[in-house]
Amino acid sequence: MKPIFTGILPLILIILFSSQTILLSQNDQFSGNNATTTNSNQKINLDDSRNRFPEILHDVKVLLSEVLIADHHLDTLEVIYNLSRIYDLLMEADQIGDMNQEDQEEFERFEKSFLDIYTHKLGTIRSSDAPVTAERFRRDITEALDPLEIEMGKTKYVVVDDRDGHIPLVRNKQVDQFITYFTTAKGRKQFAIWMKRYVEYKDLILPILKKHEMPEELMVLAMIESGLNPKAYSRANASGMWQFIYSTGKNYGLKRDWYIDERRDPIKATGAACEYLKDLNEQFDNWYLALAAYNCGSGRISRASKLHQTYDFWQMHSLPRESRNYIPYYLAAAIITKDPEKYGFTIPKVKPFSYEEVVLEHSADLAVLSRV
């Protein structure tokens, strides 16, 4: 047996054993409940009432074992595929609702172990030059890092920049957590790619923001949404640098048909994003809420504001974890982008994005032309 595989084998066995123990314990509990139900002649649909969390945790542990095996065999695609399945299951687990104390502790232990394995033990991920999609990268961080609780009415932060006409930049424990991630290990590698694209596209994007009288910091929104990749496409069918879904893009004048998808046009999409963000900011009169609404929808932010009786984003604890982390994630990226050298990044020398406009007076079917 190879030494490397010998090293990961105990880890795999521990993962599988702990998952089987949890599942068996849960099954015993269900068996007892079933016996009671039978004796009392009551008909209860256990599938509707049982706790799904142990099954989910069992599945993610099995998948993590498969990740380790695939990593040992240098099968990068299999590693990425199973990691994607783990992320989806973790998101499902996070949305189950209130967990009991035992489930919550088990979930937190797994998250900690998963982050350690993902960060330090997966050679295929560390050696891969393929950039992680911005959507996946954001979910990766926000789901893996431990959540930080903020007491109602006691949000503490330090103002970094609060000029008129700009989005206020502040730091607190949540923001600092993301800054640390961006400036160490895997996060630094990905952020360096984003900085390269920022330099490449800033001469194109910033003038459009200025034309629409929008804060220049909004370019960072495209950074965290897509990594400033005009061809980005998400599992929610959002497309382009600004990650418009079809309906929102259509509402703001972006055309999509068989031949063209203007959501991938960095110029037109930036103009549409400016109009959309302007509407959101007018609705909430608060840039943090406008940006959060860009992520999870204005309806959800409105409901959270009414529920908590506040316009303070930091106090909207009912928002999903990804939405709660969206603003600190954005602020961390904006603060680093404002002064990258302070955080150890070298401003790359990149040729600015350039393009030529060509007017097409006619179109033709390539299948027809091929027969000419």
**Residues acting as catalytic residues:** 225
Q: How many helices (H) and strands (E) does the chain have?
A: 16, 2
8 A C-beta contact, residue 149 and residue 321: no
Contacts of 2 (CB under 8 A, 6+ apart): none
- The amino acid present at 98, given as its one-letter code, is D
At 158, list the tokens.
């330090």
What tokens appear for 334 in the block?
A: 């904006």
Query: What DSSP letter does each residue of 103-154 carry, written as one string?
Result: HHHHHHHHHHHHHHHHHHT-HHHHH--SPPPHHHHHHHHHHHSPP----TT-
* Phi–psi pair at 199, nearest 5 degrees: -65, -40
Query: In sequence order, what are the residues at sequence separation of 6 or more whose Cβ sits closer than 8 angstroms to the Cβ of residue 35?
Result: none
For residue 169, the surrounding DSSP H or E stretch is strand 169-171
| CB atoms near residue 124 (< 10 Å) | 18
The owner of tokens 């900011």 is 281
